[in-house]
Amino acid sequence: MAEGKKTDRVRSIDPAAIEMLKVADERGIETMFHRAETGSICPTGAEGGCCKVCYMGPCRFIGKDKETKRGVCGASLGTVVARNYVRECAGGASAHADHGRDIAHTLLLIGRGEAADYKIKDPVKLRKVAGYFSIDTEGKGDQQLALEVAEAALNDFGRQEGYQTYSYRAPKKRQELWDKLDVRPRGFDREVVDSMHRTHGGGDQDADHLMRQAIRMCLASGWGGSMLATDLSDIIWGTPKPLTSESNLGILKDDEVNIIIHGHEPTLSELIVDAAQDPEMIEYAKSKGAKGITLGGICCTANEVWMRRGVPPAGNSLHQELAILTGAVELMVVDIQCVFEGLAPVAEQFHTHLVTTSKKATITGATHIEFEEERGLEIAKQIVKMGVDNYVNRKPADVHIPDIKSPVVAGFSHEYIRYMLGGTFRESLVPLNDNIINGKIQGVAAIVGCNNAQTTQDEGIIGLVKNFIENDVLVVVTGCAAHASGKHGYLTPEMFEHAGPGLSEVCETTGMPPVLHMGSCVDNTRILTILADIVETGGLGDDIDQVPAVGISPEYYCEKALEIATYCVGSGAYVIFGGVDSRYRASEVVTNIHGNKWEEIYGGKLHFIPEWQGIFEASMAHIQKKREALGINVEKERVLFDMADRRA
């Protein structure tokens, strides 16, 4: 057996994780990696043939004749699986859009003058977003505009009439399609309530009709809640520009107070950064015998403070327990999403304080310090001080920090990519489109999403990143896939040396790295913006489904990932999920909708391909198919244009 594993499966390809799992094994401490090997997975649920929406069941659909079976109420397997799909999407969409709503609330408090610890860092973007909401900006200060934008954004969530404002940011042709199909999203809250209503027992009982609502609800998050989360975060904390940092558990220091920020919303984590950088706090840490304070991030909150403040990321979601296992973390502060209950029993074995902060999420065994924006910095300081005070309780014998980290560059917002390619006065995506058209860049692969304890950590993500860039496919990464890319050394400009000849040449000329970190999971909407901009820029078709691009979540684990996939498909993208197989495969009807009907209707489709090699082949074939359809698959003779040609 290789290092760091109990069974013959490989738990991770990350050497830091392998090292820490060895510590866990030696000390008999259980983590997600262990439970994935010992827990029992329901075979019916794994295929999706289980209905729990009423109390005449639960009804199981198993066996060869499952497609023709009926539940007690008469429900067919197609209805059951589609209903499950809609409900799971509702969970994911709610998480992302509620994140957006929370940021809008912070902006509202700024506008009202009730959150003195926050400022408007990007007034230009504030005005741009005001424009989307048709708010007159003339003669208005930042605070007034913040108030008006926040009110408009919050109203959009609960909109009773008309359609979501951000849906009008999609390419024209896409909008026409949505209108024709009647899937343009209405208010976000209405879409989720509608989805929960129609999936109640005895409601919508037609798989096609149910899956259409999944698209409409998820579009409400993609071209709405999530996109607002990104835009409003940029307004308050700044639109990201590339920053250098380091990644992986080796960023923790054995002679400093280590505090881990984990979760999703930047509202608290930004102030934790301020509190930890306060000279008085650093002096206080020194008075406790530490040399300073080190912050590290986990999951998407890490992405937020990594790309805006340069805070080093300690790892992706499967690293959360491993960070505590180093014995060198004084405090882990968490808010919402992807923060697992298994942290509490691991923290109990060490001196680590686990602190929950969200009104929406507490964990048994953790200390709860509820966060309020109105007293934001005061609370952040209280939490950081709690970590500093805990430094004296660290047990040197428990400390095991793997000496493993990689340099990283992160923070390629859509705005920065335009600037990088054209400079201040000619910022545009033209060089990107041109190089896709001339074939130096074959296409774009968005590698996004999670880790999943059922799969080998990072293996699928890294296998794909490596092979795509070697084959001249530009890669953009977000979420935990971005962490994986960073930990394994792929987030540096020097990586162009490992890219294929065409991509390498473009990267060397423009200074663009071949793998671009675009942020957290709500920032997948930055990718939507880029795709819409590619279409607008011209030469690559008139809608997103014509662009040679794929979206992949190689190690997805949660409902949020499903929701992202669904809004991407509704926007015209080919999406592939890997690692674990489809939870909807029990139904041929739903599998056919995912893989065929959606492509006929939206030009995008969803495939589940567990092995990353299969994902790579399907992606390259798709990119070539799209290049062929655009007529850019064959090298054209180079024509020199004079001024008249150019004007034409």
Residues contributing to the site for ligand NFS (CB under 6 A): 264, 299-300, 316-317, 337-338, 449-450, 479-480, 520-521, 557-558, 560-561
Euclidean distance between CA atoms 293 and 272, whole angstroms = 11
Closer Cβ to ligand NFS, 264 or 526, answer by number: 264
Minimum distance between the CB of residue 19 and ligand NFS, rounded to whole angstroms?
21
Closer Cβ to ligand NFS, 164 or 316, answer by number: 316
Minimum distance between the CB of residue 478 and ligand NFS, rounded to whole angstroms?
7
Residue 262 phi/psi, 5° resolution? -140, 140
Residue 57: which residues within 8 A CB-CB, separation 6 or more? 51, 71, 72
Neighbours of 465 (CB within 10 A): 28
Closer Cβ to ligand NFS, 446 or 558, answer by number: 558
**Beta-bridge partners for 473:** 443
263 and 299 Cβ atoms separated by less than 8 Å: yes
Q: Between β-strands 50-51 and 257-262, what pairing exists: parallel, antiparallel or unpaired?
A: unpaired
Minimum distance between the CB of residue 559 and ligand NFS, rounded to whole angstroms?
9
Closer Cβ to ligand NFS, 221 or 529, answer by number: 221
Q: What is the 3-state secondary structure (H, E, C) of 571-608?
A: CCCEEEECCCCCCCCCCHHHHHHHHHHHHHHHCCEEEE
Minimum distance between the CB of residue 339 and ligand NFS, rounded to whole angstroms?
9
Minimum distance between the CB of residue 452 and ligand NFS, rounded to whole angstroms?
8
Region of residue 280 (left: phi > 0; alpha: psi -120 to 50; beta: else): alpha
Closer Cβ to ligand NFS, 174 or 264, answer by number: 264
Residue with tokens 């709690």: 386
DSSP-derived 3-state class of residue 331: strand
Measuring CA to CA, which residue among 89, 105, 98, 79 is closest to residue 194?
89
Minimum distance between the CB of residue 561 and ligand NFS, rounded to whole angstroms?
6
Minimum distance between the CB of residue 557 and ligand NFS, rounded to whole angstroms?
6
Closer Cβ to ligand NFS, 317 or 492, answer by number: 317
Residue 71: which residues within 8 A CB-CB, separation 6 or more? 51, 56, 57, 59, 61, 80
Euclidean distance between CA atoms 183 and 405, whole angstroms = 45
Closer Cβ to ligand NFS, 115 or 527, answer by number: 527
Q: Which two tokens stand for residue 158?
A: 């609960």
Closer Cβ to ligand NFS, 212 or 264, answer by number: 264
Angle at 193 (CA atoms; ends 191, 194), nearest 5 degrees: 60
Measuring CA to CA, which residue among 408, 472, 410, 418 is closest to residue 440?
472
Closer Cβ to ligand NFS, 436 or 518, answer by number: 518
Minimum distance between the CB of residue 2 and ligand NFS, rounded to whole angstroms?
25
Closer Cβ to ligand NFS, 337 or 546, answer by number: 337
Q: Please report the DSSP string for 233-270 in residue order.
A: HHHHH-----EEEEESGGGS-TTSEEEEEESS-HHHHH
Q: Please report the DSSP string for 122-147 in residue order.
A: -HHHHHHHHHHTT---TT--HHHHHH
Q: What is the 3-state secondary structure (H, E, C) of 493-559?
A: HHHHHHCCHHHHHHHHHHCCCCEEECCCCCCHHHHHHHHHHHHHHCCCCCCHHHCCEEEEECCCCCH
Region of residue 170 (left: phi > 0; alpha: psi -120 to 50; beta: else): beta
Closer Cβ to ligand NFS, 479 or 513, answer by number: 479
Minimum distance between the CB of residue 300 and ligand NFS, rounded to whole angstroms?
3
Closer Cβ to ligand NFS, 117 or 270, answer by number: 270
Q: Which two tokens stand for residue 336?
A: 């919402």
Q: Which two tokens stand for residue 291?
A: 């040399």
Minimum distance between the CB of residue 587 and ligand NFS, rounded to whole angstroms?
25
Angle at 209 (CA atoms; ends 206, 212), nearest 5 degrees: 145
Minimum distance between the CB of residue 626 and ligand NFS, rounded to whole angstroms?
26
Q: Between β-strands 243-247 and 406-410, what pairing exists: parallel, antiparallel or unpaired?
A: antiparallel
Minimum distance between the CB of residue 338 and ligand NFS, rounded to whole angstroms?
3
Closer Cβ to ligand NFS, 87 or 627, answer by number: 87
Element (H, E) at 473: strand 473-477
Minimum distance between the CB of residue 430 and ligand NFS, rounded to whole angstroms?
31
